[in-house]
Amino acid sequence: MLKKILIVDDSPVAIRILKVCLPPELDVEFMEAKNGAEGLECFKRFKPDLTFLDLTMPVMDGFEALEEMLKVDNKALVIIVSADVQKQVVDRVMSLGAFLMVYKPPSRNTIQAAVNKAVAKMQEMRVS
């Protein structure tokens, strides 16, 4: 069911860390983008089941990209992966409609849990 994952982060190292943390049994197609604008384009074309989105990025930051993605698809599952963990920031992305927020650096456990939640949510959406 989870077939396509989009990862948007300006840091190739961050993308690599995230991929290492993803459950190894996952059999998905990946797409990567290095800023919000590129991420939005990929989001439209690739139609991912799940998106991991960084906040601090050049060109278009994660806040704006998140808003735009949800305008395209208001049911999109977007997990914010960011080092900006100020309470006001967390509150803002959640109220913008992010599915979850994971703090950087991620770990296998937090990413596994996030993926599980996303899969459960996808099932729930399909049933209803």
Partner 1 sequence: MTILKDANVLFSEEEKSILQEVMNISFGNAVAELAEIIDVLIRLSVPSVTLVSGKDFQRDLANKIEITPPYNSIEQSFSGKLNGYVFMIFPEGSEKKLTALLGDYQEHLDPVEETRLEKGALIEIGNILTGACVGKLVDVLDENVSFTPPRLEMASSPSWQTPLNLIGQESVVISVKTEFKFMAHDINGYFFLITNEESLHWFKKALHTFMEQF
> Does 74 help bind partner 1 (rule: CB under 8 A)?
no
Here's the x/- map for Mg ion, 8-37, by CB under 5 A: it reads as --x---------------------------
**Binds Mg ion (CB under 5 A): choice among 54, 65, 80, 102:** 54
CB of 22 or CB of 42, closer to partner 1: 22
CB proximity list for 51: less than 8 A, separation 6 or greater? 5, 6, 7, 8, 39, 43, 69, 76, 77, 78, 79
Q: Supply the minimum distance, in Å, between the C-beta of residue 85 and partner 1.
A: 4
Question: Is there a contact between 93 and 55 (Cβ–Cβ < 8 Å)?
Answer: yes
